[in-house]
Amino acid sequence: MSKSTIKKNVHKILAELPDDVQVVAACKMRIPEEIQAAIDAGIKIIGENYVQEAEEAYQKVTGDIEWHFIGHLQKNKVNRAVKICDMIESLDSFKLAKRIDSQCEEINKVMKCLVEINSGREEDKYGIMPEEAEGFVKEISGLKNIKILGLMTMGPFMGNPDEFRPYFRLTRELFEDLKRKDIPGCSMKYLSMGMSFSYKIAVEEGANIVRIGTEIFGTREPQKSF
C-alpha cells in the first residue's frame, strides 16, 4: 500500500479514537518502508509477532517509538526479543515468564508485560484461562525483572464485530477484579483488546490499547514493491 494511503489511514484512526486509547500498529509481514510511513503519520507503538521481523524493522525504522511484542513468543527467542521490546503483551505461560525474567536480569531490564487471556477458552489458542489469571499473576509477581501492567486478549474469530463483545467484556471484568485486588508487584493499567475488525467495540468495552494492522496497511499480501 502506498505511503499516502497508510498516512491517510493512520490519521483517520487517530482522529476517531479517544485520546486515552493507544494504537499499536500490528506490523507482521510489512516491510520497513510501510512501517516508517505509519510512524511518520503519527504511530507511536510498533507491534511485532516475529522476532526476526522485529529485528529487521528495529534496524531500519526510526522515530520516537515503543516496541511491543504481540505474538506467541518462543522461549528460545526470548534473549533476542527482550533486547528490542519495551513491552511483551503476550505473556502466556509461567515458563515464558521465568525465561523473560532471567534474560532481563542479564541485561538489567525490567520488562513491562501484559497477561494474554484466552477469553474464548479455545483449546488451540494461547493465553491464560480467565479463571487461572489471578493465580498466574500472583505467581509471576515475585519475579523481579517482570512488571505486570495489565491484560491482553484476542478473542475467538467472529464473523461480526459485535460478537466479540462478550469476550471483551469478560476480559474487562477480570481486569477490574484484578485491579481491585491490588496484587503486589502488579498494576492493572493497560487493557489491550481489538483489532481492525473489532477495535471500535473493544474501545466501547474499555480497551485502552488497540492493535491494528489491516486498517492501517491493507490486507496482508506478499509485497512486490512499495
Ligand X SMILES: *Cc1c(COP(=O)(O)O)cnc(C)c1O
Binding mask 140-179 for ligand X (x = CB under 6 A): --------------x-------------------------
**Among the candidate windows 33-41, 50-58, 77-85, 194-202, which touches ligand X by CB under 6 A?**
194-202
Q: Which of 196, 202, 203, 208 binds ligand X (CB under 6 A)?
A: 196
| DSSP annotation of 170 | H
Cell readout for 32 is: 520497513
125 interacts with ligand X by CB under 6 A: no
Of 37 and 70, nearer to ligand X (C-beta) is 70
Helix, strand, coil shares of the chain, percent, nearest 5, are 45, 20, 35
Q: Which of 17, 30, 67, 71 binds ligand X (CB under 6 A)?
A: 71
Q: How many CB atoms are closer than 10 A to CB 144?
A: 10
Of 25 and 143, nearer to ligand X (C-beta) is 25
Distance in angstroms (rounded) separating the CA atoms of residues 163 and 172: 15
Q: Which of 89, 66, 69, 41 is nearest to 215 (CA)?
A: 41
Question: Is residue 165 within 8 Å of residue 205, measured between CB atoms?
Answer: yes
Of 22 and 145, nearer to ligand X (C-beta) is 22
Q: How far is the CB of 215 from ligand X (least distance, A)?
A: 6
30 interacts with ligand X by CB under 6 A: no
